[in-house]
Amino acid sequence: MSGGHFDYDCFRISEFADKLKHEIDVNDDKTENEFGDRRGYHFNINTLNRVTVAHRIIEKAGKLAKEIEWLYSGDHSERSFNGLMDEMLGEGQ
């Protein structure tokens, strides 16, 4: 398995992004959970749009963190890492 230099913490960022995406998806869910509370938070559209923008940033941060994890673990050369960074950040084009 690749990575490991930072104890795979990059995946915690991605996991947070996945959980946040789920909350965005169920925002309007009115069904009840096991405690009798509505599942969705029912944030207004403006708030939900801002959370969605934040989600995209966090999701990208998780991907960037993974590539850094791989770089420090010796799974990327500097050249391949820099190429991936350019691609992911839209630079060098």
Amino acid at 2: S
Q: What is the DSSP string of 42-80?
A: ---HHHHHHHHHHHHHHHHHHHHHHHHHHHHTTSS-HHH
Q: Which of 67, 69, 53, 60 is nearest to 89 (CA)?
A: 60
pLDDT at 3: 76
pLDDT for 19-36, tens place per residue? 999 999 999 999 998 898
Is pLDDT at 92 greater than 70 in this prediction?
Answer: no
pLDDT for 32-89, tens place per residue? 988 988 889 999 999 999 999 999 999 999 999 999 999 999 999 999 999 999 999 9
CA distance 23 to 3: 29
Predicted model pTM: 0.85
Residue 32, beta-bridge partner list = 38
